[in-house]
């Protein structure tokens, strides 16, 4: 169901965005695919490695911070 929804969003976006924007998005996607990043990702059922995340206020969070809690991480790629 998620894939279908994402495909629908992608199709609508393709109809609304200018070609030069779509071309840039395509270039970025190709660059990301060329890194084979999916081979380095954590798969379902694998243990999460130790980590430290820092929020915008400088507060640090480790894996232990979230022990026995449900987590969703949202990472933004950017060059800003």
- 21-74 pLDDT tens trace: 888 988 988 998 899 888 888 888 888 889 998 988 999 999 999 888 888 877
Compute φ and ψ for 73, nearest 5 degrees: -105, 135
Answer whether 0.85 is exceeded by the pTM: no
Mean residue pLDDT of the chain comes to 85
- The pLDDT of residue 80 is 60
User: What distance in Å separates the CA atoms of residue 23 and residue 9, rounded to the nearest whole number?
Assistant: 17
């Amino acid at each position: 169901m998620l894939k279908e929804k994402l495909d629908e969003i992608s199709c609508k976006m393709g109809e609304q965005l200018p070609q030069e924007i779509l071309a840039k998005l395509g270039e970025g996607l190709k660059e990301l695919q060329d890194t084979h990043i999916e081979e380095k990702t954590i798969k379902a059922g694998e243990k999460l490695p130790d980590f430290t995340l820092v929020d915008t206020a400088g507060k640090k969070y480790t894996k232990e911070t979230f022990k026995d809690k449900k987590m969703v991480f949202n990472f933004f790629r950017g060059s800003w």
